[in-house]
A and B are shown apart, each in its own frame.
Chain A
Amino acid sequence: MALHVTLQHFLIVSAILFSLGLFAVVTRRNAIMVLMGIELILNSANINFLAFSRYNALQIDGQMAAIFVIILAAAEAAVGLAIVLNIFKNFNTVNVDEISSMKQ
């Protein structure tokens, strides 16, 4: 059966998800949209970790890497949103192209 799902299918989904996340990070003006794009990129990386882990004799190492990616994503989201809130408090905008100085 030609359409039988193999490792490549998961990798293709991950590649498209990565490109969409990159596109969001580069084009969107809103800083929160940039954070959402980063989450998409991290999810695509996790799909890759788990796919290689699954198709390599069911090893556990890829799953360990994915756990630490999730931990760092949670920390990144918390700190990133705190920074965005602080920027909004100081500049009254969250558009990344209007924020070009470190202080007011």
Chain B
Amino acid sequence: MNSVQMFDIIFYILAVTVLLSAGVVVFSRNIVYSAFSLLFTFFGVAGLYVLLNADFLAITQLMVYVGGILVLILFGVMLTNKVVSVDIKSGTLQMIPATILAAAVAGILLSVFLFTNWMTSGSDSAVQTVKTTAPKIGEALITTHALLFEVASVVLLVAIIGAAFIARREKTQQ
């Protein structure tokens, strides 16, 4: 078994993992199952990033999504469901129009992706030996993308202050 076949096998395993767990996220009636299934989706997407030669992005995905956003979502699930009530399930609405809409969007996207002759350059072989991308990303962050980097830091600061201010509990209702 050469490395190209290995690449394909790993890709299919990761793709099936991502799509199955995303299906559980979307179609599960229990929101806690959805939140935990999102964990496997994020891990699978991180694996796909590794296959796409984006090692730094894969680690960032694990740290930010699995370590941060997923924990936030679990806190949200725990804090907004009444434990004593049985209403931890979440219902659905407008199933038929939504199914038509999602199927139409999927069909359009798939047809665009499949029938466009994408301009790919460089070697098209699956497996290439590249160096780690972290030095290149770090260099780009302080040269070509320096303004975006600074704006992103301000955005994060504003988001932290805003989230803390919005979620703050009032002292007493007069």
Interface of A with B (CB < 8 Å)?
1, 3-13, 15-24, 26-33, 35-37, 39-40, 43, 46-47, 50-58, 60, 63-64, 66-68, 70-79, 81-86, 88-89, 94-95, 97
Contact = CB atoms under 8 A, between A and B. Distances in A.
B126 A70 contact: no
Contact of A60 (B35, B64, B136): B136
A57 B119 CA distance: 10
A23 B121 CA distance: 34
Contacts, number: 230
Contact of A15 (B72, B76, B110, B156): B110
Binding site of A, secondary structure by majority: helix, strand, loop or mixed? Answer: helix
Given A37-B26, A66-B57, A27 B94 contact: yes
Interface of B: 4, 7-8, 11-12, 15, 18-19, 22-23, 25-26, 31, 34-35, 38, 41-42, 45, 48-49, 52-54, 56-57, 60-61, 64-65, 68-69, 72-73, 75-77, 79-80, 90-95, 98-99, 101-103, 105-106, 109-110, 113-114, 118-122, 124, 126, 128, 130, 133, 136-137, 140-141, 145, 148, 152, 155-156, 158-160, 162-164, 166-167, 169
